[in-house]
A and B are shown apart, each in its own frame.
Chain A
């Protein structure tokens, strides 16, 4: 089934400030194949495809279409060469109809718009490729799966022969995903090429003919599906071994400080993000939640801290039932959240260091007396906090947006830790920090654990999880799909579970938390 090479990328490099997103990456896509681009978060998949679709310009390397070198200045150039990308977040105008969205941005009918003709063509394309959707429906009336079909139709209408799909199943139900795979296979059979970006091994094994694995911006391998296995792909995808490990100083306690049972919650896009999740964290224990982002991490943290309503199930902090409680009550129960979004949720960028330091404790004496804030006391406390946790600040009255990322996180942790929480939920606590700052944050978390706090560590960094956690659980599609003591965890098994592959019961620690 492998046809001629339609598109070839040679030695593509792309540098963003501080990061080499693509390092001499090569890729060739043949007519008639579904080519999967596999890799962890941040491996450079989307960057590479954004270059191919004309969104970014490479710093180095060349792109050949049917053997001829091309330079894309914009997505328009790419689509003219037959390359179209369907992004993870759709670019559709909600109050417009399907047909209107399809013609949007085209300059083909120069002036008069014959919508009827467009509608006919859209219907014809839809019939031929199994992409059924009413051309006259308005976008907001469509399901997510149907909207995706509109995006694909948009590209087909523009004559795309190479269709790039960026994590297309992330927003789909399993049934919709199945339908999509059928469509993609059909398109390949008709001589087009599909590039399929994913980190889910299962679906890659299901739909792809060839698989290119990227890791940290580099080519790792390109394999025929027939000649590989999910296990091999998982190993290639996560790669390197654990490099750091920390010594524990004492045994975890028996007392369960955080307990979730059968928790369900909606995600922002209106479908279930947590589907019956159960989890326990003991005093003096760090439980690491591994998983590819978008599998319910954010929702998990928000549900625990009262920022997102719980649909079903129960949450307890210590012996207190806190399901559906207001965040203020949870803070009073000794729960602390180190949010994913430091500057904006965890800290208020325009307010001063002092104002930010009291965000959680301004209600109580000695910071306030009656309705009044005690400014002297606030300054004194903030000064102590800043010194004790070695936060570098230009001044106590400086707005915190002037702080560096590492110092922001220190200030945030200083505030949270000084409240002596019983349960701490830390989401991506070291994302974007340099090595030194990361080590500092790790040390603070471990000290917290040694003080007897229960810590839930949600991170995309498997190294971090393995280095800090006592226990590791794997989150996949809103459920805990595996659990094991960190000491016995293998990267490969975790990688497989992160990608949604069930392990035989005897392989790991299996079962529910």
Chain B
């Protein structure tokens, strides 16, 4: 007997939405096991995290502060993922956005707020977008794998910012800390009264609305959906796949860049060595867990913001904040596993039984039509490889 994977003909809708929920539950369970093994009481730790993230006014607003960059980056990578562009570079695009906003601010500190703020945000979006365009060009025209290039550009962006705050932009009054000079008040994003939650939240909601209109109601969104589902069909329909790769990456990077601009302008009020605790990476999990749906991304981003704040909260009890990242990792792990099981099903094969679903391409014509075989011949083992062309 051996195990065989078969692609499901049809993925039930209920299963599609159950996967993320079950994955999160399993991740929490796995995390609980780990906490128990390390001598903590899982229920207590989880309770502490929950109270820390959502149990107080301060905690809740902090959760939203952390959720804003996750929302913007999540929307950014989500739109790229929809076209099967694996933009892993949101982190770097965020840093470039933060860099550009700072640059504008340090260059024109005397500008009034109504000029300075829009200019900073626009510069952030522009540089984030361009930073994503850089790997998009070789991807579109040379088929260079964007996973590698976007990922590597993250380090370039992070080190670039690090260089600036250690060198040319170091605050003379900063006691040698790697910080830029503080921004003038005119460069601060407005916040909701009495909280640190800035108007980036409004921007994220507007971005989600714009994206859902763009994707479902416009010609361009239609092209993105077709290209994402089947690039061959897109070419057949006369769509310009290369141009859309560039546009989608530009948009994706611009959203991450906006997140970076918002961080420096709305939260930190200066550029510093580590402006992001990995928002760009967590955003990948956020987008995936939300099945790339813009509205779902907003909600899931809040949960992940809560996870971060909860992580800080448990530090008081002597448990490392890394618990939050451990849970994030576990969630991604289970989501990907669950994803696989929604697409494939595991079947036991008794020796001697020849997989009955294998299609007789020998009689149905040459097996070169994946369309005909797709639904029925997923067999990934070597033996099913060649039965056409007779």
Q: Is A57 an interface residue (CB 8 A)?
A: yes
Q: A362-B219, A375-B217 are known contacts. Are A328 and B239 too (CB-CB below 8 A)? A: yes
For residue A109, CB closer than 8 A to chain B, the reply is no
Which of A137-145, A333-341, A435-443, A447-455 contacts its partner? A333-341
Residue contact B236 to A346, C-beta cutoff 8 Å: yes
Interface pair B233/A42, CB less than 8 Å apart: no
With A18-B360, A42-B364, A46-B388 in contact, do A326 and B369 touch (Cβ < 8 Å)?
A: no
Given contacts A44-B363, A57-B354, A87-B386, contact A344 B237 (CB under 8 A): no
CA A345 – CA B234 in complex, angstroms? 8
Chain B contacts of A216 at CB under 8 A? 363
Q: A41-B390, A55-B383, A373-B217 are in contact. Are A343 and B374 (CB under 8 A)?
A: yes
Partner of B236, one of A43, A337, A375: A337
What 0/1 pattern do residues 352 to 394 of A give for CB contact below 8 A with B? 0001001110110000100111010000000000000000000
Return the CB mask of A15-55 against B: 1 if under 8 Å, else 0. 11111110000000000000000010111111100100001
Closest chain A residue to B384 by CB distance?
A: A55
B389 interfacial by beta-carbon distance below 8 Å: yes
Q: Chain A interface secondary structure, helix, strand, loop or mixed?
A: loop
In the complex, how many angstroms separate the beta carbon of A178 from the nearest chain B beta carbon? 22
B112: Cβ under 8 A from any A Cβ = no
Q: How far is the CA of A167 from the CA of B388 in the complex (A)?
A: 11
**Could you tell me if A42 and B225 are in contact, using CB atoms closer than 8 angstroms?**
no
Does chain B have a CB within 8 A of A350?
yes
Q: A293 an interface residue at 8 Å Cβ cutoff?
A: yes
Q: How far is the CA of A346 from the CA of B237 in the complex (A)?
A: 8
Main SS at interface, chain B: loop
Q: Is B278 an interface residue (CB 8 A)?
A: no
Decide: A21 and B360 in contact? CB cutoff 8 A.
yes
Tell me, rounded to whole Å, the shortest Cβ–Cβ distance linking A416 to chain B. 11
- A363 to B239 alpha-carbon distance, docked (Å): 10
Q: Please name the residue on chain A nearest to B360 by beta carbon.
A: A16
Give how many A residues have a beta carbon under 8 Å from the other chain's beta carbons. 75
Whether B217 contacts A349 by the Cβ 8 Å rule is: no
Q: Does A432 count as interface, using CB distance less than 8 angstroms? A: yes
Confirm or deny: A316 has a beta carbon within 8 angstroms of a beta carbon on chain B.
no
Within 8 A of B (CB), among A405-459: 405, 428, 431-432
Cβ < 8 Å to A, chain B residues 210-237: 217-220, 222, 225-226, 229-230, 232-233, 235-237
Are the CB atoms of A359 and B226 closer together than 8 Å? yes
Cβ contact within 8 Å between A344 and B371: yes
> Nearest Cβ in chain A — how far from B334, in angstroms?
24
For residue B354, which residue of chain A has the nearest CB? A57
- Determine if B366 and A294 form an interchain contact, defined as CB atoms under 8 angstroms apart: yes
Task: Decide if A428 touches B369 in the complex (CB within 8 Å).
Answer: yes
Bits for B356-390, please: 1 = Cβ < 8 Å to A, else 0: 11111011111011111011100000110111111
Question: Known: A343-B371, A371-B218. Contact between A16 and B365, CB under 8 A?
Answer: no
Q: Which A residues lie within 8 Å of B220 (CB)?
A: 371
* B235 cross-chain contacts in A, Cβ below 8 A: 307, 327
In angstroms, Cα B237 to Cα A339, docked, is 11
Compute how far the CA of A371 lies from the CA of B232 in the bound complex, rounded to whole angstroms: 23
Identify 24 residue pairs between A and B in the complex whose beta-carbon atoms are under 8 Å apart, listed by A's number: A20-B363, A42-B390, A46-B387, A46-B389, A47-B390, A55-B383, A294-B366, A307-B235, A327-B238, A331-B237, A337-B236, A340-B368, A340-B371, A341-B369, A342-B371, A344-B371, A345-B233, A348-B233, A351-B225, A371-B218, A371-B220, A373-B222, A401-B10, A431-B365
Residues of B bordering A, CB below 8 Å? 9-10, 217-220, 222, 225-226, 229-230, 232-233, 235-240, 351-352, 354, 356-360, 362-366, 368-372, 374-376, 382-383, 385-390
